């Protein structure tokens, strides 16, 4: 996984990228974390689409509409602004949840679009949580500024996911 990210960074440094609209080159972030709590307990936290603010340290406020079913939307207030996400699919059997960005805000998170999936799997006495995202940089024109290029997008998404997983771990441990 770290190798993947390193490779992604390495490739990005090789030359300027040219893209428009969503651009043809998607980026990825992919993190997993072991959590010493039963999968059911962790899934209960993850599947609460409107309660991510209870455990994600970067989410200051959540306003959810449509409950916890596919089609629900949530507005996340981050340090530098709001983004809106839509819930695509909840697979309770597989403990897997998929969502996407509906309204971008490059000030808050420097990406133009993403889809993401969180999956909770049993691992030993506890759980393993895998959180992945497929996304495009914020500025999809030919010469994006440094804070809106592919590297900035990968760094921001990776940080959002890592901090989320750590927050989930802390919440599951009852802290």
Given the complex with another protein, which of 23 and 106 has the nearer CB atom?
Answer: 23
What binding mask, one character per residue, do residues 104-143 give for another protein by CB under 8 A, x or -?
Answer: -----------x-x--------------x-x---------
Which range binds another protein by CB under 8 A, 11-19, 31-39, 61-69, 74-82? 11-19
Question: 3-state SS string over the chain?
Answer: CHHHHHHHHHHHCCCCCCCCCCCCCCEEEEEEEEECCCHHHHHHHHCCCCCHHHCCCCCCEEEEECCCCCCCEEEEEECCEEEEEEEEEEECCCCEEEEEEEECCCCCCCEEEEEEEEEEEEECCEEEEEEEEEEEECCCCCCCCHHHCHHHHHHHHHHHHHHHHHHHHHHHCCC
- The answer to the question of residue 18 lying near another protein (CB under 8 A) is yes
Q: Which positions from 20 to 59 touch another protein by CB under 8 A, shown as an x/- string? A: xx-xxxx-x-x-----------------------------
């Amino acid at each position: 996984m770290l190798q993947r990210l390193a490779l992604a960074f390495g490739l990005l440094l090789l030359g300027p990228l040219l893209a428009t609209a969503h651009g043809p080159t998607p980026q990825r972030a992919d993190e997993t974390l072991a959590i010493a709590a039963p999968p059911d307990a962790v899934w209960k936290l993850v599947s609460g689409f409107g309660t991510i603010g209870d455990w994600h340290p970067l989410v200051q406020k959540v306003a959810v509409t449509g409950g916890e079913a596919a089609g629900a939307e949530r507005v996340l207030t981050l340090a530098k602004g709001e983004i809106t996400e839509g819930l695509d699919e909840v697979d309770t059997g597989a403990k897997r949840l998929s969502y996407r960005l509906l309204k971008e805000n490059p000030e808050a998170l420097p990406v133009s679009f993403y889809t993401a999936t969180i999956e909770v799997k049993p691992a030993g006495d506890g759980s393993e949580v895998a959180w992945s995202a497929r996304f495009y940089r914020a500025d999809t024109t030919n010469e994006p500024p440094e804070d809106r290029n592919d590297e900035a997008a990968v760094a921001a998404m990776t940080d959002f996911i890592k901090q989320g997983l750590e927050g989930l771990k802390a919440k599951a441990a009852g802290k």
